[in-house]
Structure formats: structure tokens, C-alpha cells
Amino acid sequence: MELHELDKARVVPVILREADWENAPFSKLQAVPKNAQPVTTFPDQDAAFKFVTQQIRRVATELIERRRKLRDQQQKDIAIVAYRQKFEEFAADGEISFGEQFLLDDLQQKLKLTDADIQAIKQGILNPIANSQQVERYRQLLVKAIAQYGYPFSDEDEVRTELKLVQTHLNLSDTDIAQIEAPIIAQKQAEALKQRPTATDTLSSEKGIDYTKLRDLLKAQRWQEADRETYEVMIRAVGKKSGDWFTSNELLNFPCTDLKTIDSLWVKYSNGRFGFSVQKKIYLECGGIPDGQYHREAFGKFGDRVGWRKNKEWVFDVTFRTSSPQGHLPIEFVSRHGFARRFVGSRVYILSHRDL
């Protein structure tokens, strides 16, 4: 029965004698001879058994034919995928050369695809109107992902894996994806270049602070150590020692040159993913006002964007990876309550700094 229900076999009950068929395990199946009538009740039992044989043969023939059609369709689907991949490869540069067309024609014959099959494949690839809705849905998702996690994505990045799943679901080709991403990526790359300082790092300081260690840690992408070093240089820049906390006035009036040096190093070596200016941009996009006041709703949205808040709860699991959400770092501060990661109140003041 299990194989029958899985469509891998056919169970054909043959009723030989009188029986209570109504509640039997096979009662839902089509029995033979017919209507669950026992063979022994037929006037001519030889004719009854012949009829049973014919019915079993009919069921077997139908099952074989259905499986043949399924196998043929599976083989055709594989052939269509193979042709589509080759067509996309040749069409990637915008045109099909006569040599490439010859190879495609030869492939069509080998795969036994009809002209109608080929036309359907080309229509799906070359006609942008046919899948315009899918393209727009993917574009919106990509923009949302970049806004949340920053750009670029690494090949191993889980975000890229998720986008690939969506691409498959929307039945978009690699050519479609390349055309969607090209203008968006070009814009993000241009923005990143604008944020980068000159090739030679400017480690200027109004307070005589040496930023070499911070620069080297960021260059090596040792994010956790760089995060801690950011606190150390900042607390010294306001004339205090390690373990002290900042006042709101010290953050609102933090030395301009030093703040720009720290921020530029973070932005440069994270390719525009991290830094105070990156955080401020996100804060403003969330409706924040840089007036030194704590705007609960805007800061809550900001926390969601940079990964400091989940399900409306502030969390304490810092992720020191390049794949962390955009604006996730730097994060360490010391508050009046003692040393604490992600002390959100103090971040309001630095995001309100006039020179960011």
C-alpha cells in the first residue's frame, strides 16, 4: 500500500471469494473482476479469470506509459537546462556569433529539442518584459540587503547564498542577475571611493595621539582589537585614562581632527562598511535628529539596521566580522555605569557631532 500511495506500484485486489470488502484495507482500491464481485460467483469462471488478467495488463500498461512519459519529461528538462546554460554563456556579451549559433544548432540536435523548445528558452532569456516583475522583485531585495548588510558581499557571505536562493526561486538567469546588479554595484563602488581618504593615511591629531596601532589593526581586519583600540585612543584624546567614561559634552565636542582620523581609518579599511560616519548616515535614514537627544523610535530602528537590536531587544553579542551588518562597528564605549559594550546612550552624542 505504501508503494501504491507513492505511485511507485499499483495494487490490484483480486476477489476470489465472498468477503466483507467495505472495511478492508484495500476497500478504496479498484478491485477486479469489478465492483468487488468474487470470481467464484461468475457463471463462467474461466471468463472471469481472463477478465482479471486483462484488467491487470491494462493497469500495468498505464503505469508503464505514465513512467515513460515522466522519464521523457525529466530527460527533456535536463536537455533544456543544458541548452539554456550554453545559450546564456554565448549571449553574455550581448550577441550570438555565427560560430556560436552553429554550436547551438548542433547542441539542439544532440539534445533532441524542437524549435518550439528553443524559442521558449530564448524568449525567457532575451525578453526582459517576460520576467520584468521577477527582475524588479530581485532588484528591490538586493537594494534592501545592501542597505542592511553593506557592500561588497564576499563569495562566502551568507547574504549572497540567500540571494542565490531567491534567484533560483524567481527563475532568473545569471545574465539577468548581472544586468540587475551592474548599475547598483557601480553606484556603491563610486560611493565607497568618495568615502576613502588618499592612498597615504593621514594620522593627524589635535591632541598628539598616535593612531598607528589603530591603523595597523584595521588594515589587518582585526576588528575586535581595533574596536577596543578605538576606545583607548578616544579616551586619551579627551584627556582621560583607560577605564574612564565619556561625558556627553566630551563626545559632542570631541576633537574634530581626531574624530575624522579615526572615522576615515574605519571607513577605508572596511570598504565603507564600518565607521562613525557610516553609522550617522544610517541613523539619519532612520529618522534620527543629530541634536544630542535620545530619540527612542529612530534609535530603535538604527539598532535594528546595525545589528545591535533583535526583536526590539538590545543584544550583547558583538559580531567582529566583515560580513556584519553595515554600521555594526565600532561599538565599544564606557558609560557612567562602568565598562559596557554597546552602551547606546553614549552613541547618540557621537552621532550628533557636527563634523561627522
Q: Among the ranges 16-25, 162-171, 251-260, 330-339, which has the highest mean pLDDT value?
A: 251-260
Residue-wise pLDDT for 59-91, tens only, equals 788 888 888 887 888 888 888 889 988 988 887
Three-class SS of residue 339? strand
Backbone angles phi, psi at 60, to 5 degrees: -65, -40
C-alpha 97 chain-centroid distance: 35
Residue-wise pLDDT for 174-193, tens only, equals 777 877 887 787 677 667 65
Looking at residue 189, what is its pLDDT? 64
At residue 336, does pLDDT exceed 50? no
Looking at residue 220, what is its pLDDT? 93
Copy the grid coordinates of residue 337. Answer: 555605569
Residue-wise pLDDT for 324-335, tens only, equals 899 999 987 544
Looking at residue 340, what is its pLDDT? 40
pTM of the full structure: 0.47
Copy the grid coordinates of residue 105. Answer: 544548432
> Which band of pLDDT confidence, cut at 50, 70 and 90, is reported for residue 123?
confident
Torsion of CA 287, 292, 295, 298, to 10 degrees: 30
Copy the grid coordinates of residue 1. Answer: 500500500
